[in-house]
Structure 1
């Protein structure tokens, strides 16, 4: 919630994390303030809100911060940095690659094509290109940031950047085209019955998300410092995971890092928390609500030394349909639903038995550890050994198949 302070001589705005949009705006604003106001004279952070001077929020400062935050992900910045380090005396192959990559960026989007037109870098016209970058820097930052699919466009209506507070929220999935659909939004087609909420500070929401193919924002809003520290801790975990997975030439996505962080870290997320998800391919935000019960289950996965990494694969149903096993398991944990269907599916192939064993252990955690205590486990192992001893080796596999089929088809009398 945003409150204008009329009698405060130091600050004129108070912002509270009343819902996830305001929480994300606060996180983005604090990153912006740390860059713009290093002396911390124009803002103040309290446990439940922040105070600041709105005069600190300007288009010029905003775009400077965007350039600092996104760096080479902005086409003109990539060109600038590579031109500054270009040396004709470098290895010929290196220079050929640099020239090619610079020219790709010079025509990388609409605004780059407009500014540089038919100019190509040939190794001799560095100063000409750098001069154009400096001359049109603000426009280059603005248009690239506004229209890039992993930047402002992923979160907000691109036509609303820098607009003042308005009746309809600027976020995608919230925004309404009033001239076309305004009447239908109100009860009984009465526009006066519609209640919307938007503030200019929502332009800072993109900075709060941690970007990947899916972007996440952890709304740990018990205190303001928890909001900022949750993002910082999560960013460090993602960076470590990406570096480790790149060594193995693997990709597992941002949600893998989220659940891995909860599983392996005792102090990452400890109580009910709301996680906002934004997929680039979707024009709306999704909410992932992680309850304390689910967090406890995730932490016990580590305590029980369950190999959750063995679940990171997709199971083929047919040529057009695959099931992401890791995603399915995490959905079951979050929704407190059993993994019986997944277990039955994987039981059909012997190569999945190790994975099935991990799923059975997770299933027991979801059940509240009411079935598979140490005593029951010992009994199960004893029964299995007794069966192995009584059935000839050449018939053991056949019996195992019959037992598996009886479980899958719920035909328990056939064994």
Structure 2
């Protein structure tokens, strides 16, 4: 027996510990998990058991498992059988290792035993090569050439790995490779099991208590193939799909590995941000859940389509106001509903109290009356609106107040929000946004959702 004790020194060790517990649970091996460490018998880790667990844990990514299932379920129905024969032959060429093993083989409906025997004879090779080279599997997390190798000269985890032959001297102190400080471990090969099985893999690193870490990540990812896990992490956060966020009473770190990126991302999620996300209504989520198309240049996206949901969640996670995005959208026609939704979220980020509801009801009412007053003079109202938009985007708040005073005087109608805006414009800026939005043109919700 070779007892090993691991502690969560950083997220890599935390994810490894979580992955190891899943491995031991699957084989019903004994281990001790405390708040501070994981202790286990290293003899329980073997190459054969590792790949058996890989086959089970990543079953949905294993082409040979699909192949077995398809052959097992061949029916007498001629039309269905044709479709399945086609699907089986596609699986025989699904990746490099499948092409290699089944080279020259073609399923015709009568050679099931031959295919299955060939699969069983080469099962380990198929699993190993599929796993270590899969872009959503091991290759997403570490250097495939170091899988199950003993501790090496450099960390095997993506983002930490480097080519020592080419860069070994240039990245070290005094160009002396002996000064390189690194951390590597064969246990890092269990990191993939610590993440969610999704395109954007996620690990919640609340490592102050390993027992809680295991439970919280289990809560999130039991449903490995669910619709929620196929969405992005930020989309899941917005839609309250991450149940763990409601159980954590402190800030938390989330490690995200997008298969399209070569590095891991760290997101620090504050409890304040979670509270904001939980207060957003389903109606608003639906409005901001689709990208916004504009005909004018923007600094929010490299394309004309702006990822509204991502921008909103990023701002909330960083407790950053949505002022710039709202002001940009004032320049874009037919986005009144979207602007209104963003203003409501912005009010949450500003941490406005419940007592402000009355003020917003008043500013909307005042805006509606002014809009009614200008019903026969729409161009005049548009002129005021454009002046307000120009002034507020230029941060000329005195000018905004001046235009609103002139508008009130011209229409002989009160704008009660002006009292608070004169007291502290920055603090009450969302009142000004709401007023400008209330006097703007409005298209149907359907048109706005379609980006028209």
Q: Secondary structure at the match of 2:81?
A: helix
| 1:104 Cα deviation after fit | 1.0
| 1:270 Cα deviation after fit | 3.6
Alignment partner of 2:13 out of 19, 22, 36:
22
Counterparts in 2 of 1:185 and 1:375: CA distance versus 1, 3 Å = same
**Where does residue 313 of structure 2 map in the other structure?**
330
Q: Which moved more, 1:402-411 or 1:144-153?
A: 402-411
Deviation string 1:356-401 (CA, Å, 9 cap, x unpaired) is 1221111112112169712322432342244245x14233575156
2-side partners of 1:359 and 1:210: how far apart? 30
Matched, 1:315 2:292: yes
Q: Contact between 1:157 and 1:170, CA under 8 Å: does it hold in 2?
A: yes
| 1:320 Cα deviation after fit | 3.4
Q: Contact between 2:155 and 2:182, CA under 8 Å: does it hold in 1?
A: yes
| 1:76 Cα deviation after fit | 1.4
- TM-score scaled to structure 2, two decimals? 0.80
Counterparts in 2 of 1:262 and 1:123: CA distance versus 1, 3 Å = closer
Number of residue pairs the alignment of both structures matches: 391
| 1:35 Cα deviation after fit | 0.8
**Where does residue 271 of structure 2 map in the other structure?**
292
| 1:191 Cα deviation after fit | 1.5
Counterparts in 2 of 1:219 and 1:139: CA distance versus 1, 3 Å = same
| 1:291 Cα deviation after fit | 1.6
2-side partners of 1:102 and 1:335: how far apart? 48
1-side partners of 2:173 and 2:63: how far apart? 45
Q: Secondary structure at the match of 2:272?
A: helix
What does 1:379-390 align with in structure 2 at a 5 Å threshold? 379-388=362-371
Matched, 1:256 2:235: yes
**Where does residue 7 of structure 1 map in the other structure?**
none
Q: Contact between 2:89 and 2:106, CA under 8 Å: does it hold in 1?
A: yes
Q: Contact between 2:234 and 2:313, CA under 8 Å: does it hold in 1?
A: no
1-side partners of 2:136 and 2:116: how far apart? 26
Q: Which has the larger radius of gyration?
A: 2
- The answer for unaligned runs of 5 or more in structure 2 is 296-301, 393-398, 408-452
Q: Contact between 1:297 and 1:365, CA under 8 Å: does it hold in 2?
A: yes
Counterparts in 2 of 1:378 and 1:289: CA distance versus 1, 3 Å = same
**Where does residue 355 of structure 1 map in the other structure?**
338
Q: Secondary structure at the match of 1:185?
A: coil
| 1:306 Cα deviation after fit | 6.5
1-side partners of 2:196 and 2:242: how far apart? 19
**Where does residue 342 of structure 1 map in the other structure?**
325
Counterparts in 2 of 1:149 and 1:199: CA distance versus 1, 3 Å = same
Counterparts in 2 of 1:179 and 1:172: CA distance versus 1, 3 Å = same
What does 1:179-258 align with in structure 2 at a 5 Å threshold? 179-235=165-221, 241-242=227-228, 252-258=231-237
Matched, 1:51 2:36: no
Q: Which moved more, 1:404-413 or 1:212-221?
A: 404-413
**Where does residue 247 of structure 1 map in the other structure?**
none
**Where does residue 395 of structure 1 map in the other structure?**
377
Deviation string 1:153-173 (CA, Å, 9 cap, x unpaired) is 111100010011123110111
- TM-score scaled to structure 1, two decimals? 0.86
2-side partners of 1:238 and 1:343: how far apart? 37
**Where does residue 278 of structure 1 map in the other structure?**
257
| 1:118 Cα deviation after fit | 1.3
Q: Contact between 2:216 and 2:244, CA under 8 Å: does it hold in 1?
A: no
| 1:66 Cα deviation after fit | 0.7
2-side partners of 1:374 and 1:84: how far apart? 63
2-side partners of 1:284 and 1:354: how far apart? 37
Counterparts in 2 of 1:222 and 1:265: CA distance versus 1, 3 Å = closer
Deviation string 1:264-296 (CA, Å, 9 cap, x unpaired) is 887344421111111112111111111222223
Q: Contact between 1:14 and 1:52, CA under 8 Å: does it hold in 2?
A: yes
What does 1:68-83 align with in structure 2 at a 5 Å threshold? 68-83=56-71
| 1:100 Cα deviation after fit | 1.1
1-side partners of 2:258 and 2:245: how far apart? 28
Q: Secondary structure at the match of 1:169?
A: coil
1-side partners of 2:140 and 2:324: how far apart? 35
What does 1:4-153 align with in structure 2 at a 5 Å threshold? 12-36=3-27, 38=28, 40=29, 42-87=30-75, 89=76, 91-153=77-139
2-side partners of 1:229 and 1:252: how far apart? 22
Q: Contact between 1:215 and 1:279, CA under 8 Å: does it hold in 2?
A: yes
**Which runs of structure 1 show a deviation greater than 6 angstroms over 4 or more consecutive aligned residues?**
262-266
Alpha-carbon RMSD across the aligned residues, in angstroms, is 2.6
**Where does residue 154 of structure 1 map in the other structure?**
140
Q: Contact between 2:220 and 2:244, CA under 8 Å: does it hold in 1?
A: no
